Amino acid sequence: MATLTGPRAPWPEATVSRILLLGWVLVRAAGASGVMVAYNLTWKSTNFKTILEWEPKPINHVYTVQISRILGNWKSKCYSTTNTECDLTDEIVKDVKQTYTARVLSTAANATSYTGELVYRNSPEFTPYLETNLGRPTIQSFEQVGTKLNVTVQDAQTLVRRNGTFLSLRDVFGKDLSYTLYYWKASSTGKKTAKTDTNEFLIDVEKGEDYCFNVQAVIPSRKANQKSPESAIECTSPEKGVFKDTFFIVGAVVFVVIIFVITLALCLYKCRKDRARRAGKENSPLRAA
């Protein structure tokens, strides 16, 4: 059988295009220097404290983070770092209602300069005012008098500044921020709720009953991240207050008694030592003149 010889048929043009495209993607992913491209870029933000995280841990390369407002200029942060996170709070608090994007650049660890095509990954867009998580609120004070329970919520401080002063959540969100109070009889599990656009609750309760309660910060206008974690639980309990006062009184008495015993023991020890020294002198023989 005769063997066919001669030039091979050229590859179809579509196949060549796909190969070239695949090669470009691989070069783009690895970069001209063989560095890894960052992935899983994620914003972590609570009360405007904002950190960008990503993967993977670098092996033979380093990262530099850049941040920009939409249609703004890139600003570099966390230069040539081997970390996989970068604190961008100082940039986003300049205007928390702006929308930001970030990108993580990869370069070889030993590179002194880089003039080739940038190897990077973009983050999702991030609008702090709409997306930062609300931190756990704190109950500042409470008082139950007769049939009225008054609860005051303490606003968390943020790193947002105005005229050199750090602002609270209320300062930043204004009327967009509200609080929900969950309260129930100490002897029951049935919860009731109350809401306020301020930091004060004044609710009707049953006289002579102890109540437990906690609060939650809420921004109803948001589509997501509307609610904070609930605060620690507080209770109005006269018995608890009496026990606490008694504990402090007893503790103070015990402390005074301990100090007295230690002082008395030191005085007795010193007296014994002085007495023994005098007795030793009296019993020692007189030296000849």
Long-range contacts of range 221-224, CB-CB < 8 Å, 24 or more positions apart?
A: 221/176, 222/130, 223/130, 224/131
| DSSP line for 203-256 | EE--TT--EEEEEEEE-TT-SS--BPPPPPPEE--HHHHHHHHHHHHHHHHHHH
Are 181 and 197 in contact by the 8 Å Cβ rule? The answer is no
Residue 134's closest CA among 88, 172, 84? 172
Are 98 and 69 in contact by the 8 Å Cβ rule? The answer is yes
Residue 43's closest CA among 114, 119, 131? 131
The backbone torsions φ and ψ at residue 251, rounded to the nearest 5 degrees and listed phi first, read -60, -40
Long-range contacts of range 154-161, CB-CB < 8 Å, 24 or more positions apart?
A: 154/199, 155/199, 156/47, 157/47, 158/47, 158/48, 158/49, 158/93, 159/47, 159/48, 159/49, 159/89, 159/90, 159/93, 160/48, 160/93, 160/96, 161/93
Residue 182 DSSP SS3: strand
pLDDT in tens, the chain (289 residues): 444 444 444 555 555 455 444 444 444 444 445 688 999 999 999 999 999 999 999 988 999 999 999 889 999 999 999 999 999 999 999 999 999 999 999 998 876 655 567 899 999 999 999 999 999 999 999 999 989 999 999 999 999 999 989 999 999 999 999 999 999 998 887 899 999 999 999 999 998 899 999 999 999 999 999 999 999 999 997 554 444 455 567 777 787 888 878 887 888 777 877 777 766 666 555 454 4
Beta bridge partner(s), residue 157 = 168
Q: What is the pTM of this model?
A: 0.68
Task: Give the span between the Cα atoms of 183 and 192, in whole angstroms.
Answer: 5
Residue in the structure block whose two tokens are 């993580």: 104
Residue in the structure block whose two tokens are 């500044």: 161
Domains in the chain, ordered, with CATH? Answer: 25-131 (2.60.40.10), 138-236 (2.60.40.10)
Scored b (16 or more CB within 10 A) or e, 167-188 reads bbbbebbeeebbbbbbbbeeee
